[in-house]
Structure 1
C-alpha cells in the first residue's frame, strides 16, 4: 500500500477546475501534503444515499462474514504500517514512535470489535416474570443504518477508529469526515478498507473531505447517528445541526484530566507517568494529564523527580528516532498554550521548566508550572499542549475535591500504593487509571467516554458496540391462560389473583 503514502492529488481524485478545495500541510515544515476537494452538501447527501445501499448489503452479511472483512482490513493496515506511520509523522507531526503506538492500538480495536460483535449484539432470551410467563421475550440489537463519523486531528487513526470499527462491526455503513488537518491519513485508512475487500459490491466505508461546512452538511444529511470528536464548543454546533432532524449524537469532547499523587506513591513512576501523560503527542491528548495534585509531604521530591526526568528527554524536535515530541499540529493552538502559560505566571504560578520562552512555533517545549492558582486558565481550560500544573495539597481528600472542581470529566490518574482504586471511584471522570496513565485507552473491552463538558456516549468495548445499534424488544405469546389481564374478556377473578400475588411477594411487613 505504498502508493497511499504519497497522498497526492491524483490519489485523491481529479479536482475539477475552479471547484472548492483545501490543502493539508506538514505542521513541521509547512509544506503541502495533499490537496482535497471540499465536498458540497449535495455531494454529501449523495454519498450518504450510496452508503445506505451499502448498508443493505453489509447488514445482511453474517457475523462471521463481517468479521472476516474487518480482519482483512486490520491485516491491510498492519502490512502498510510503515507507510501509515510515515504519513502520520508528515501530516500530523507526531514522532514515528507515537504514530506506531497509535496505529497499533487502532488495529487492536478493529480486531476486538470484529471478534466480539456477535457475542455482544446477538438476540438473547430475557426472563418474563410470573405475570407474563406465557410469553417468550427476546432482546436484540439492530444496526442503525448509516453512521457519520467526524474525526479529530490529534489522534487521526486511533480516535475515529473507536467509532468506525465498532459501527461497522455492529452492521452499519459509515461515512467518515476526517479533520481537514489530517485528511490524507483519513483517506489512507478508508483506502485500506477498500483494498482489503476488493470483491465487495458496495463501499461500506465512505470518505468525504472538507472543512466545517462539510461536517455541518453531514449532520444534516439524514445519517442515523453522528459520532463526533473535538472541542465542546464545536460539539455544541454539531448538536445544533443535528437537532432539527433529531439525529442522535455521540460526543467525545475535551478534558482537563488530573493526576493525584498520594503520600505513599512510587514517585519515580508517578513522575514518569505524569511526563508521558502531559508531554507525549506534544500534549495534544484529550485524556492527557494537565493537572497534578500531590500531597505536600512528597511534593518537593515529586517535582525534583519530574524535573530530572524532563532533562533526560531528547528535547530537540526533529526527525530522529529519539525525538520526544513533534510540532503543534494546529497553528492556532499555539496561541492557546502561550496564553495559558502567561496567565499562570501573571497570577503567581512558578515556572519550574519551560515557561513563556518555551513557545517557539511550531514547537512548544515541555513546561511545568508550580502552584498555579485554581482560577487561572491553565487550570480551568483545556490547554492541549505540553504543559502541566503541579499543586501541593494537604491530603488526598483535598486532591479529590480539586480534581473534581472542573466542568470536564474525561480521564484521570491516581498514584498510590494503598487505596488507589477507592480514590479512583470518587473521581468524576469516565475513566481512571491507577498507578498508570491512559491505560484504559489500550484495553479494547473497556468503554471510553466522559461526562459534563467532556461529552456523552461511549466508544470501545461492549458499550461501544451497542452505541451504534438500537435495542429491539420482541415478545411472543406461547400459550393462552384463563386469567389474561389485557383483555376486556378477562376472568372476573383475574385481578383478585394478581393482588394475591403482589401481597405474597411484596406486601409482607419485614
Structure 2
C-alpha cells in the first residue's frame, strides 16, 4: 500500500501517515456511496437535519483536538484554527436548518393558456458528489460543500488536500461516530492522482476548491465524462480606501486581510488602492500595525514548499521594477517563515499585482480618485472578492467592482455570513457555495405539473376545433401588444 506522509511545515517533522487511495479504491468508495444514496435521500430534510446536527455537535465537542490537528498539519496558530472551526459550524447549522425551505417543493404560477395546471418546482439531489478540499482552510472551506451536498440529499466522497489528510479523516470519523447507517460520507486520502481518479469515477458533480491552475486540470478531467464542476479558485483581491474612510479600521482590515493565515487565503487582500489625499497617513498606519506581526507567533509558516519561491519571486520582481519595500522585503523570506512585507510604488504589470502571491505581502498604491481604484481593481483576471472603505460612497463604489462579493467597511464579512453566496468570476471560478445558491449547486431543478381539470381551450391535440386557433390569435393580439 502506498502511503502519504504529512510533514509539519513549522518543524519538518512527520506528523502523520495516510493511505494514498488508488483509482480502484476511489471507485469502490463511490460505489459504496451510491449504494447509500437512496437511504440518505429517503430520510427527507428533517431526517437528514437530525443526523447533520449530531455531526455538528460531535465536531464541536472535538474542536480542541481538531484545532490542534490543523495546527500540526498546515501550521496556522491554534486560535485561528478554532476561529475557522467556529465559522464552519455556523455554516453547517444554517445549511441544515434551511435546506428544506430552499430545496423543497414550491408553487409556480401558470399562464392564461395553462390555468388548468398546478405547477411546482423542487430541487432533487444529484446522487453522489465528489468534494476536493484545500489545505489552507481544511475545515471551513470543504464543509461549505460537504454540508450543502449532504443536506440536499446527496452522498459524498471527500478527498482532502494531501497537506491536511488527517483533518479530512477526522471529519469523516466524526461523521461515522455521529451518524449510524450506510456509508453516506466517505473520505479518500491521497495526492493529485487520487483527485484525478475521483474526477473520472462517475460521480454526479465535483465541488473543487484550490488554485486556478489545478482547477483547470480538474475541469479538463471532468470534461471527459461531462461531470459538472463547482470551481472555487484563486483570487487577487483588492481593498479600496477612499479619502473619507476610517483609516484606522481600514489599516487594521488591510493587515489582517493580507497577513492572517500567512496570506494563504483565496480571499486575502493582496492589493490596496488608496486615495492620494490619505495615502501617506494610511501607509504609516499599515506599516505600524504590520510591524507588530511576526511569522512564528501571530502567523504560521508557508504550508506549501513551492509557494515560498513564488512569494520570493514576486517581491524581487516588484523591487526590480522600481517598487520599494517599506516593511520587509527579500530578507523577510527565511525558510518556510515569511515576515510581513509591504510594497509601495509597484508597477501594475508586475507579478506582485497581477498574479496570486498567497503570502503575507501587500502592494499599497496611491490613486487620484476611486474611479481609478475601481478601474485598476477590475483589470485583474481574477474576480473573487473585494473590500471598500468609505463613509459616504462605499455601496456605490462596491457596485462597480467585478467580483463575486464585496464587503464595505469590513474585511471579508460576506464569507462569514452563512446566508450569502460565495464564489467568483473570471479566473476565480464559477458556481457558488454557502447560502441558498450553495444548496442549489448540489441539486437539480425538477418541474412538475398536475392537470386539475380539462382545459376549456384544447390546444395540444390534432383534433382541436378551428375556433380554438381563432381564440389563440385573439389572445396573442390582446396580450402581446397587437391591439
In the superposition, the TM-score normalised over structure 1's length comes to: 0.94
CA contact (8 A) 1:369 1:389 kept: yes
CA contact (8 A) 2:295 2:338 kept: no
Number of the residue aligned with 1:9: none
Number of the residue aligned with 1:12: none
CA contact (8 A) 1:263 1:297 kept: yes
The answer as to 2:244 corresponding to 1:264 is: yes
Deviations 1:386-442 (A, max 9, x none): 000000001000000000001000010000001101111110000110001111111
Moved more, 54-63 or 400-409: 54-63
Q: Distance in 2 between matches of 1:405 and 1:306?
A: 24
- For residue 354 of structure 1, the aligned residue among 328, 339, 344 is 328
SS at match of 1:432: strand
Deviation (angstroms), 1:92: 1.0
Number of the residue aligned with 1:202: 182
- For residue 286 of structure 1, the aligned residue among 260, 266, 274 is 266
Q: Distance in 2 between matches of 1:393 and 1:131?
A: 57
- For residue 49 of structure 1, the aligned residue among 25, 31, 34 is 31
Number of the residue aligned with 1:104: 86
Number of the residue aligned with 1:171: 153
CA contact (8 A) 1:482 1:491 kept: no
Number of the residue aligned with 2:121: 139
SS at match of 1:297: coil
Aligned 1:18-417 pairs, distance under 5 A: 19-197=1-179, 200-313=180-293, 315=294, 317=296, 323-417=297-391
Q: Distance in 2 between matches of 1:441 and 1:166?
A: 15
SS at match of 1:175: strand
Q: Distance in 2 between matches of 1:387 and 1:439?
A: 21
The answer as to 2:399 corresponding to 1:425 is: yes
SS at match of 1:383: coil
CA contact (8 A) 1:483 1:491 kept: no
Q: Distance in 2 between matches of 1:424 and 1:493?
A: 56
Deviation (angstroms), 1:316: 5.3
Deviations 1:130-154 (A, max 9, x none): 1111111110100000000000011
Q: Distance in 1 between matches of 2:62 and 2:224?
A: 41
Summarize the Cα distance change of 1:193–1:374 in structure 2 as closer, same or farther, 3 Å threshold. same
Deviation (angstroms), 1:496: 1.8
Q: Distance in 2 between matches of 1:288 and 1:358?
A: 19
Q: Distance in 2 between matches of 1:256 and 1:175?
A: 30
In the superposition, the TM-score normalised over structure 2's length comes to: 0.99
Q: Distance in 1 between matches of 2:194 and 2:308?
A: 25
Number of the residue aligned with 1:472: 446
Q: Distance in 1 between matches of 2:399 and 2:360?
A: 27
SS at match of 1:388: strand
Paired residues, number: 483
Deviation (angstroms), 1:482: 4.1
Summarize the Cα distance change of 1:316–1:460 in structure 2 as closer, same or farther, 3 Å threshold. closer
**Structural RMSD (CA):** 0.9
- For residue 418 of structure 2, the aligned residue among 405, 422, 444 is 444
Deviations 1:258-294 (A, max 9, x none): 0110010010100000000000000000001000000
Deviation (angstroms), 1:508: 5.2
Q: Distance in 2 between matches of 1:38 and 1:78?
A: 28
SS at match of 1:274: helix
CA contact (8 A) 2:395 2:408 kept: yes
Deviations 1:156-193 (A, max 9, x none): 00000010011000000010000000000111111111
Gaps of 5+ in 2: none
Q: Distance in 2 between matches of 1:335 and 1:327?
A: 13
Deviations 1:233-273 (A, max 9, x none): 11111111111211000000000000110010010100000
Deviation (angstroms), 1:312: 3.0
SS at match of 1:222: coil
SS at match of 2:189: coil
Q: Distance in 2 between matches of 1:115 and 1:399?
A: 40
Deviation (angstroms), 1:36: 1.1
Q: Distance in 2 between matches of 1:477 and 1:311?
A: 70
Q: Distance in 2 between matches of 1:325 and 1:316?
A: 5
